[in-house]
Amino acid sequence: MNLSDPLKRPLRELVEAERYVPELLQGFITRLEATEHSRDVWRLIVALGHDLNLPFIDFISASNFRDWRKTLFIRTSYDSSWLQGVNDDPDVRKWSYFRSHAMYFLTPIAVGLEFVDEYRHIPEARVAVLKAAAEKGMRSGFSIPLRLYAPPQSALITFSGDLSKRQMIAVIQAHGWTLNTAALMAHQRYAQLFSLEFTERNHITAKQMELIELIGLGLQDKVIADQLGISVSAVRQRMQTLLSNTGLKSRAELAALAMFIGILPHPFNNPVGDQETLIEMDSGGFRTRRGS
């Protein structure tokens, strides 16, 4: 048994109180708990789609809630190179499910050529794209808008397949809860691991990680040089290399990176002094309590 494969790991034993959700969702979530890399999360999402005869998966995320141009990542379970020309046309691109729905609304939505008559308005150029997708086996699907608010991000997971409208509605009615919950939880886990993998994607060394931590602590170059046992000019040279490798533009962004990748705790998650707890009671007012 390959324990590194999230699809083959033995599932933990559930207590009876956990068994009141669909079995398919139970299996997905318990495997999700054991994921250690974003690619593991992605494999679980794709496997779920295959289980429901919806093998064409799109997962898109923007690093800015309202600015769709700041795309963080796009993953597809199929060769989507045919869409490249489509996305080069801004008048067609803006009618994607992500930009026309998921950026503004939270409701899951049926998508694809089979549901084209149920939208308010879609230009003919976009309908042509849906027809091309249908010819490739994506006649209908189910899209789930996703959110993260710290920092604000918008995302969308779409499960599609070669299903008629009637068949797709039946899938949504039978498995909509599973698909929606799985997408929400997988997105959170994927985003968490994706952030932690920043150093892996950008080939950041252990010495550079140490420098990021010291910058994140707010130390000046002379203090950092003393702690690392190198010259101030060497500190600045390493910093410039870091900025070049990561695409960041300032010392402040490097400091923020230390929290983003988990080297340093976020201040909101690690308050200084006694923690304040706000207790609110309907018809009973509210009070605050300090201390854990």
Gyration radius of the chain's alpha carbons: 23
Of the candidates 234, 262, 232, 258, the residue with the CA atom closest to the CA atom of residue 246: 258
pTM to 2 decimals?
Answer: 0.79
- Under the banding of pLDDT at 50, 70 and 90, the label for residue 52 is very high
Q: What is the rounded average pLDDT of the residues 155-173?
A: 97
Q: Is the pLDDT of residue 280 over 90?
A: no
Tokens representing 60 are 């898109």
With beta carbons less than 8 A apart as the criterion, state whether 289 and 277 touch.
yes
The average confidence (pLDDT) of the chain is 85
Write the pLDDT tens digit of every residue in 220-275. Answer: 999 999 999 999 999 999 899 888 888 888 888 888 888 777 777 665 555 555 56
Is residue 10, in this structure, part of any structural domain at all? Answer: no
The total domain count for the chain is 2
Do 31 and 150 lie in one domain? The reply is yes
Q: Is the pLDDT of residue 161 over 80?
A: yes
Last residue of a domain, one of 196, 230, 251: 196
- Structural domain range at position 68: 16-196
With beta carbons less than 8 A apart as the criterion, state whether 274 and 291 touch.
yes
User: What number of other Cβ atoms are within 10 A of residue 249's Cβ?
Assistant: 9
Q: What are phi and psi of 210, to 5 degrees?
A: -65, -40
With beta carbons less than 8 A apart as the criterion, state whether 183 and 170 touch.
no
Do 165 and 211 lie in one domain? The reply is no
Do 216 and 241 lie in one domain? The reply is yes
Do 171 and 284 lie in one domain? The reply is no
Is residue 4, in this structure, part of any structural domain at all? Answer: no
Is residue 74, in this structure, part of any structural domain at all? Answer: yes
